[in-house]
Chain A
């Protein structure tokens, strides 16, 4: 993607967020979230150039933020980003079996995307749903009380939903 193609979009997103903010400027993280949502689970690296022009923030600082936070990705991810909890409450209630089942079903490892571009598998720290552990999130939706069987059902459902469209 070239800087010119995305300039208008990124500018619009930034100005929208900045105008709603109580304190002008320093809205980099919220802006990056919005850009990521807009492009579907990733941030085109060129957006940093546009943000530099808009905010005057040095490029190095924007890259710094982009790479520090685990939820931002500058490479394209699947339509469904699966975040599986790797925290202790999920671990002691069978989380590893669920992770193994997901890897086996999707035939990918952590941080990888399926060939059809549908799923990306990531680890996350505690999702705060420990009462129904093991837990995962697929985009903004949480799934609890997971077992190897239930994970396969959930993936099957999403795959057939995609095929139906």
Chain B
């Protein structure tokens, strides 16, 4: 058998797949066969490499040449040029700001070099379906160490030293949850993994489940040994079919290898796992709603206390952690608690995975030590704002969080500092917004989400958020009054203090936070009836500049409602009565003659 000369890693994270990875891989392998190279080139599909905007990504080893935005056509070009002739295909390389070619951006760009990968250590490095590759990266060593060298108390002590806090949003010390569940009375106990990642703009849990499913199996088995559980459940949202598929295969392999099931690693400890699938309800990310959903009921939250540690699934003591929290456990066990707590700052130890999305150049996942400044995260790692636009604000914590306005971007990201700014770290989603975003519109957007997702159980959340949305709609329609703004604040504070669960208690946050920092925008909508960002359709118009228009008719042809009139080579005009403000004409005008105005 010929020796393998090249290993090719293709990113098969969810984002790259949706950008066309499957056909790239197909063409790449077909081309290899065409030149009888299939035995000397090994193709591996890995988990998410993080740089979603560069996908589909293909990296060729041993050189480590990084090809970006690969299409099926360029995949065969890579085989013919790079693999066959040893010539690098320049067109597909990453280009720096000055247009310079970078063959190995993964060794140069801050996006890659500033990261400290703990929870995401295996993403983009191994084949998620191969248990051997996971083991080769110290996989299941932590489980072995726990079963043969550590008592449950030792595990909890290690977690305590690590100062790991829950990465799902609430930021509760992980060791305390484990300790409460361990000390809870009862023979039957459960461990649950919350993989119902629903915060808009957060996608690290998806990446871990798809790219390194064994780490969840291993961490949950360690958790079960520590708290004394026999069975565990992973609650995955149905929107993540690939995660469900890969996790199922990982569980099967783990059972086959004796890492899961009866008599794990030959000991008398037994534990097994099952996947339960959500069905499209955001509220199920709340731990007690999730438990109800596993029990086959409507996903409505329960009153706390009792907490799940004492009365959880089927009223038995239950440990619940989210995906990213679990993914940190095996490395902490192997390297010790102090190793983890060396990263980060007082009160916020270790690393955190952030998801960069929205108007930022490098979208994707990054894992960095906590305490990093927002500026460094957005500008150095995220590459700044595309299109020469200005940063306006960053929304963190999804519909439960608030925004960080541009004047606070030198704030270090910790649980405490973000709380002082009126927002939360949450699950780590960072939605970057440029000057074109209207903050009233953003607040309205989140409220629409909450109204839709409120489970309907308690009145403040069910009716209160709907009233808030109505007021916001009035404002963005240009019919708001200053009293409406007071009403919004009032309603918001009431809902926060009287709702049953975390969803309601935090739902008004996006509104209150944008009111705090962008009061002038609310005032502009109410007093001047203008939308400064020219986003709210009732408050803006699209107009053609007669001086610049050459009468090319491109706009008139693209207008879906025939609102544009004018003869060829003569300036055109938009009828504001017919125009729907869709902006299609703006995109096709090559002369910069069309712009939005408000009012």
Flag A44-59 by CB within 8 Å of B: 1 or 0 each: 0000000000000100
- Cβ contacts under 8 Å, B395 to chain A: 88
Complex-state Cα separation, A148 to B584, whole angstroms: 10
Shortest Cβ distance from residue B204 to the other chain A in the assembled complex, whole angstroms: 9
Q: Given contacts A93-B358, A126-B198, A128-B206, is CB(A68)–CB(B298) below 8 Å?
A: yes
Complex-state Cα separation, A28 to B19, whole angstroms: 35
Which of B15, B18, B200, B238 interacts with A126 by CB under 8 Å?
A: B200
**A107-147 contacts to B (CB < 8 Å):** 124-133, 135, 137, 140-145
Shortest Cβ distance from residue A26 to the other chain B in the assembled complex, whole angstroms: 4
- The reply to whether the CB of B231 lies closer than 8 angstroms to some CB of chain A is yes
Listed by A's residue number, 6 A-B pairs whose Cβ atoms lie within 8 Å are A26-B314, A29-B276, A33-B277, A65-B296, A131-B356, A132-B363
Q: Are B203's CB and A128's CB within 8 A?
A: yes
- The reply to whether the CB of A64 lies closer than 8 angstroms to some CB of chain B is yes
Complex-state Cα separation, A133 to B363, whole angstroms: 10
Shortest Cβ distance from residue B14 to the other chain A in the assembled complex, whole angstroms: 5
Chain A binder among B135-143, B279-287, B462-470 = B279-287
- The reply to whether the CB of B293 lies closer than 8 angstroms to some CB of chain A is yes
- Cβ contacts under 8 Å, A132 to chain B: 15, 18-19, 52-53, 55, 363
Shortest Cβ distance from residue B130 to the other chain A in the assembled complex, whole angstroms: 23
Looking across the interface, which residue of chain A has its beta carbon closest to that of B294?
A26
Q: Are B355's CB and A129's CB within 8 A?
A: no
Shortest Cβ distance from residue B533 to the other chain A in the assembled complex, whole angstroms: 11
Complex-state Cα separation, A161 to B365, whole angstroms: 35
- Cβ contacts under 8 Å, B280 to chain A: 69-72, 124-125
Q: Are B279's CB and A69's CB within 8 A?
A: yes
- Cβ contacts under 8 Å, A100 to chain B: 560, 582
B residues with CB within 8 A of A: 14-15, 17-19, 52-53, 55, 197-203, 205-206, 231, 233, 238-241, 272-274, 276-282, 293-299, 314, 355-359, 363-365, 395, 429, 431, 433, 437, 442, 445-446, 448-449, 452-453, 455, 560, 582-584
- Cβ contacts under 8 Å, B205 to chain A: 128
Shortest Cβ distance from residue B191 to the other chain A in the assembled complex, whole angstroms: 12
Shortest Cβ distance from residue B255 to the other chain A in the assembled complex, whole angstroms: 12
Complex-state Cα separation, A132 to B277, whole angstroms: 25
Complex-state Cα separation, A65 to B293, whole angstroms: 9
Complex-state Cα separation, A57 to B279, whole angstroms: 19
Q: Are B19's CB and A145's CB within 8 A?
A: yes
Shortest Cβ distance from residue B192 to the other chain A in the assembled complex, whole angstroms: 12
Which of A104, A128, A145 interacts with B239 by CB under 8 Å?
A: A128
- Cβ contacts under 8 Å, A64 to chain B: 297-298
**A74-95 contacts to B (CB < 8 Å):** 83, 86-89, 91-93
Flag A11-39 by CB within 8 Å of B: 1 or 0 each: 00000000001110111111011000000
Q: Are B18's CB and A144's CB within 8 A?
A: yes
Q: Are B15's CB and A131's CB within 8 A?
A: yes
Q: Are B582's CB and A97's CB within 8 A?
A: yes
**Most A CB within 10 A of own CB, among B18, B19, B583:** B18
Complex-state Cα separation, A128 to B205, whole angstroms: 9
Q: Are A104's CB and B298's CB within 8 A?
A: no
- Cβ contacts under 8 Å, B431 to chain A: 88-89, 92, 130
Looking across the interface, which residue of chain A has its beta carbon closest to that of B355?
A130
Q: Are A70's CB and B445's CB within 8 A?
A: no
Q: Are B299's CB and A88's CB within 8 A?
A: no
Complex-state Cα separation, A31 to B347, whole angstroms: 44
Complex-state Cα separation, A68 to B293, whole angstroms: 11
- Cβ contacts under 8 Å, B240 to chain A: 128
Looking across the interface, which residue of chain A has its beta carbon closest to that of B238?
A71
Other A-B pairs, 6, CB within 8 Å; known A126-B198, A142-B17? A27-B296, A68-B455, A83-B239, A89-B357, A128-B206, A142-B18
Q: Given contacts A21-B274, A125-B449, A142-B17, is CB(A92)–CB(B437) below 8 Å?
A: yes
- The reply to whether the CB of A163 lies closer than 8 angstroms to some CB of chain B is no
Complex-state Cα separation, A131 to B359, whole angstroms: 10
Looking across the interface, which residue of chain A has its beta carbon closest to that of B434?
A92
Q: Are B357's CB and A104's CB within 8 A?
A: no
The 7 closest A-B pairs by CB, nearest first: A131-B52, A87-B200, A69-B279, A130-B357, A28-B296, A144-B18, A128-B203
Complex-state Cα separation, A17 to B560, whole angstroms: 49
Complex-state Cα separation, A86 to B280, whole angstroms: 13
Q: Given contacts A89-B431, A92-B437, A124-B280, is CB(A22)–CB(B274) below 8 Å?
A: yes
Q: Are B206's CB and A125's CB within 8 A?
A: no
Complex-state Cα separation, A24 to B355, whole angstroms: 38
- Cβ contacts under 8 Å, B200 to chain A: 87-89, 125-126, 130
Q: Are B52's CB and A23's CB within 8 A?
A: no
Shortest Cβ distance from residue A27 to the other chain B in the assembled complex, whole angstroms: 6
- Cβ contacts under 8 Å, A83 to chain B: 239
Q: Are A69's CB and B55's CB within 8 A?
A: no
Q: Are A68's CB and B18's CB within 8 A?
A: no
Which of B203, B282, B445, B453 interacts with A131 by CB under 8 Å?
A: B203
Looking across the interface, which residue of chain A has its beta carbon closest to that of B240?
A128
Which of B19, B272, B365, B437 interacts with A144 by CB under 8 Å?
A: B19
Q: Given contacts A89-B431, A126-B198, A131-B364, is CB(A33)–CB(B52) below 8 Å?
A: no
Complex-state Cα separation, A144 to B15, whole angstroms: 7
- Cβ contacts under 8 Å, A30 to chain B: 276-277
Q: Are B297's CB and A61's CB within 8 A?
A: yes
- Cβ contacts under 8 Å, B239 to chain A: 83, 124, 127-128, 137
- Cβ contacts under 8 Å, B294 to chain A: 26
Complex-state Cα separation, A142 to B241, whole angstroms: 10
Q: Are A88's CB and B446's CB within 8 A?
A: yes
Q: Are B437's CB and A26's CB within 8 A?
A: no
Q: Are B55's CB and A128's CB within 8 A?
A: no
Shortest Cβ distance from residue B418 to the other chain A in the assembled complex, whole angstroms: 18
- Cβ contacts under 8 Å, A148 to chain B: 584
Q: Are A88's CB and B279's CB within 8 A?
A: no
Q: Are B293's CB and A29's CB within 8 A?
A: yes
**Most B CB within 10 A of own CB, among A57, A69, A83:** A69
Shortest Cβ distance from residue A62 to the other chain B in the assembled complex, whole angstroms: 9
Looking across the interface, which residue of chain A has its beta carbon closest to that of B283?
A68
Looking across the interface, which residue of chain A has its beta carbon closest to that of B583?
A97
Q: Given contacts A89-B200, A93-B358, A130-B201, is CB(A125)–CB(B241) below 8 Å?
A: no
- Cβ contacts under 8 Å, B296 to chain A: 25-29, 57, 65
